[in-house]
Amino acid sequence: MLDKSYVVPWGKRGSMSTDAEAAVLADLVHESTPLPAGARRERFERSFAEAVGSRHAISVNSAAVALHMAIRMLDLAPGDEVIATPQTHRATVQPLLDHDVRVRFCDIDPTTLNLDPAALEALITPRTRALLLVHYGGCPAEMDTVMALARRHGFLVLEDCVHALGARYRGHSPGSLADIATFSLRNDKAGTVLGEGGLITCDRDDWAQRLHRLRAHDTDTPTAHPRPARATEPCVLPAATYTTPLQRGCVRRPGSDATMPEAVAALGQAQLAGVETAAAKRRALAGRLDEVLARYPFFTPQSAPAHSTHAYHLYTCLADHQELRDRLVLALDHRGVEIQLRYFPQHLLPQWRHRGHLRGECPVAERSWFEQHLNLPCHALLTPHQEDYLIEALDGSLAELNGGAPVPAAMSATVCGRR
């Protein structure tokens, strides 16, 4: 399936580019304001925080950096336990490898594919310090239950919103539902800003201050002008010759150079207004895909709770068993529709197996990936012709699997609560 030209390709870019965005870049190239000045970055952060409903938004140069920095805010100590979802990209949990903590993977709900609150409660111990979850595919996790457990047991919650720009949970945006959250502006996400970018949102002023220092390589001690050791000892250079005060004291934590470039921030600002439009386009296509699947009960779409709005960064459906899933993948590929399977269960990757995680730890997530789920193209850059072709190809492939006859009982076994 590599090096193949598809009629309906998987989305290589997650958002639509316009002439207005090109004009923003042209302005940057021709103006005299220094690019590192940060005025556009600050404006973008304010706009993003307002859009999400968070007190602070701190921009960085990638989502991976955002996750690393957000996890540092959790102040994990040796012996702490962190609960995480296995149904995510490796970047969500990989920063935990840098910490001497025990990671406990929580199984997923078979309908939403998000972390299962019932399974979560069974994993909580007195050592539980934090929870890392993802809104898989743009389907919001059940945050009310999760946060109630977190407050009752005294642990922090980090929501990875890499898929969730444009989603809603009880009217609120992901990124404002937990203690701290991260977003991605990578090339294939809902905001596409020259390939890479990330944001961290939170309400705590002290965390925002620390994150600004970490991002810019600032020290985390007070600043002061130097003083002579004795009154008769002059300064080698007067403090007035420096454009900024000199630092006294030591640095407790090293920073980085993770600042978001001005061009990226300018594009992010320009694209914020189009997030809802792109999400509505994906939801409309998802509705058409749902209508096709409703005619074939041996495939079931991922479902969001009634009080949530799915962003459909991924459109995921689940087969009754592996043979059906594999046959549909091949049938669609033959018709020129590119299919993805996302994601391999994290606890079974070599780095986590090395830490003692085994097959059978998260049986729902394992069955989903190995036997059931596939992701259909569902992105804002599909043309009307490509959307129509996708619908026809899916309907034709499923009809071919069904053979034009009633679905056999063996193929209509209950999966995800539906027959």
* Across 9-13, 165-169, 248-252, least confident range: 248-252
| Residue 373, strand partner residues | 318
Report the distance separating Cα 39 and Cα 43, nearest Å.
6
Closest CA to 378 of 8, 7, 5: 8
Report the distance separating Cα 320 and Cα 203, nearest Å.
43
Report the distance separating Cα 287 and Cα 14, nearest Å.
19
* Across 21-30, 100-109, 275-284, 370-379, least confident range: 21-30
Tell me what percent of the residues of the chain surpass a pLDDT of 70.
Answer: 81
Report the distance separating Cα 316 and Cα 263, nearest Å.
34
Say which amino acid occupies 386: Q
Strands 308-309 and 373-376, by their bridges, are unpaired
Report the distance separating Cα 283 and Cα 245, nearest Å.
52
- In the numeric block, the tokens 């403090």 are attached to 239
Tokens read off for 280: 């509505």
Q: Residue 27: its pLDDT value, please?
A: 78
Report the distance separating Cα 173 and Cα 52, nearest Å.
5
Strand ranges across the sheet with 299-301: 299-301, 315-319, 373-376
Closest CA to 299 of 211, 418, 134: 418
Contacts of 395 (CB under 8 A, 6+ apart): 292, 295
Average pLDDT value for the chain: 87
Residue 241 has pLDDT above 50, yes or no: no
Residue 221 has pLDDT above 90, yes or no: no
Residue 229 has pLDDT above 60, yes or no: no
Number of Cβ atoms within 10 Å of the Cβ of 297: 15
| Residue 105, strand partner residues | 84
Closest CA to 267 of 28, 11, 95: 28
Q: Model pTM?
A: 0.87
Report the distance separating Cα 177 and Cα 76, nearest Å.
21
- In the numeric block, the tokens 């009754």 are attached to 320
Summarize pLDDT for 367-404 with one digit per residue, the tens.
999 999 999 999 988 999 999 999 999 999 999 999 85
Report the distance separating Cα 210 and Cα 271, nearest Å.
28
Number of Cβ atoms within 10 Å of the Cβ of 149: 18
Q: Residue 151: its pLDDT value, please?
A: 98
Report the distance separating Cα 231 and Cα 228, nearest Å.
6
Residue 24 has pLDDT above 90, yes or no: no
Report the distance separating Cα 347 and Cα 85, nearest Å.
9
Q: For the chain, how long is the longest CA-to-CA vector?
A: 100
Tokens read off for 299: 């495939």
